[in-house]
Amino acid sequence: MTARLGRSFAGKVALVTGGSRGIGEGIVKRLASDGAAVAFTYFNSEERAKRLGSEINAAGGKVLPIKADSGSAEDIRATVNQVVEEWGEIDIFVNSAGIMIRGTIDSYSLEDFDRMLAVNVRAAFAGIQAASQAMKDGGRIILIGSNTAVRTAFPGASVYSMTKAALTGLVRGTATDMSAPHAEAVKTLIPLARMADVSEIAGFVSYLASEEAGFITGASLTIDGGYIA
């Protein structure tokens, strides 16, 4: 597994939450391809996580799958500690874990509301808090948000949109499998008339994690094919 186009994260350690599928998986693959040692969390997708780990290791990369519930701040902190114990530090933290529980506000349960906040918002806060303490100067923190923070194209997504808007407020942050059921409807609202390929998101994350993006901080950046233009 070799670094691309001169962008090398050789010697760097990355942690990606929710890295076993969708955008998270694409980010794990890209950062590993760029030379980083990559730890990633998974919760329900153990088989996919092991397959991803085997694929990267077979290609000469360095990867560490860790089972953790992003709804648990304790699990997030324990994950960071495990990565530091294994590899000494964290240079890149990418919060990609997220869930969508749809429902209209009039019937939305508080249990689902609390779970959405825990996984989509509190986990990002806990991850930033823990990972930043394991970083040297020049570390990178990237949160994967959603264009639904600005506008949503389907009903029952207001709580999800709220959690993604919260990420923008938290880091002033950066669409996957969760979008698939609504892809055709969303495409009609995108000027490029297609969904993003995971590799396009992963490439953007690779850039943000690199020294080339060293003057970007506290920014909310959009990659959406013109959806919110």
Is residue 194 included in any domain, yes or no? yes
Rg (CA), the chain: 17
Query: Residues 106-157: pLDDT tens digits?
Result: 999 999 999 999 999 999 999 999 999 999 888 899 998 877 777 676 788 8
> How far is the C-alpha of 98 from the C-alpha of 117, rounded, in Å?
10
Is residue 6 included in any domain, yes or no? no
The pLDDT of residue 210: 85
Residue type, 18: G
Is residue 218 included in any domain, yes or no? no
Q: Return the number of other C-beta atoms located less than 10 Å from residue 210's C-beta.
A: 17
Is residue 193 included in any domain, yes or no? yes
Is residue 114 included in any domain, yes or no? yes
How many domains does the chain divide into? 1
* Residues acting as catalytic residues: 160
Structural domain of 174: 13-213
- CATH of residue 119's domain is 3.40.50.720
Question: pLDDT-based confidence at 5, cuts 50/70/90?
Answer: very low
Is residue 185 included in any domain, yes or no? yes
Is residue 173 included in any domain, yes or no? yes
Evaluate if residue 97 carries a pLDDT over 70.
yes
By CB neighbour count within 10 A (0-12 exposed, 13-18 middle, 19+ buried), where does 40 fall? Answer: buried
Is residue 3 included in any domain, yes or no? no
